[in-house]
Amino acid sequence: MLLRQAYAAVLQLLRARLDLSQHDIAQTVTQSHVSQLEAVKTSATLEVSQELAEALNLHPVSFLALVHAAQDQRSAREILRLAMEELDAIELLDAALPIQPEKLSPPQTVAADKKWEAVQELKKEGHSQAEVVQMLGMPRSTVGRYWHKKTRRGSLFSAL
């Protein structure tokens, strides 16, 4: 069963169980959008799922647990137990979580920092640039650039 189909089936089931019309749950989500969701003609965003769950007096996780239970042909209890086991295994079940994403360094910057550190470490050990080229397998121009660079993210010309 496709996730969209399971979503539509659960939405219809909940509306029937709670004796609500599409119009009754159409607060910030329009009735026509609810109709399209139930007809499997569109997908819901996280925001729409949250708004529909709230209109149905459910927590969004409860709503999505039902959707995934329908998709997997399992009970909601099984899905929630599995989710708890997975979160516990990665030690996030009871952890405080960030509310904002971190600003991550681009992979190229991280790689460049590691190269700079490797060159600087070998330089401190007294190796020549030619030896560092051989030891690290880097181009001579790259070793030369990192050799004279004073800081990881400073100007390439900071040594001048």
pLDDT digits over 46-62, tens only?
Answer: 999 999 999 999 999 99
Query: Is 31 a residue whose pLDDT tops 90?
Result: yes
The neighbour count for residue 48, using CB atoms within 10 Å, is: 16
Could you give the domains of the chain? 3-89 (1.10.260.40), 107-148 (no CATH)
Between 108 and 37, whose confidence is greater?
A: 37
Banded pLDDT at 92 (limits 50, 70, 90): very high
Nearest-10 Cα torsion for 132, 134, 137, 141: 60
Banded pLDDT at 153 (limits 50, 70, 90): low
Contacts (Cβ under 8 Å, ≥6 apart) of 116: 146, 149, 152
pLDDT digits over 113-133, tens only?
Answer: 999 999 999 999 999 999 999
Cα within 13 Å of Cα(119), Cβ side: 25
Q: Distances from the Cα of 114 to the Cαs of 6, 111, 145, 152, in angstroms?
A: 47, 5, 14, 9
* Mean pLDDT, residues 60-74: 98
Q: Residue 73 in contact with residue 64, Cβ under 8 Å?
A: no
pLDDT number for residue 150 = 83
* Mean pLDDT, residues 70-97: 98
Name the average pLDDT for the chain.
Answer: 92
Max CA pair span of the chain: 80
Comparing CA positions, the residue from 82, 79, 62, 60 lying closest to residue 71 is: 79
pLDDT number for residue 28 = 84
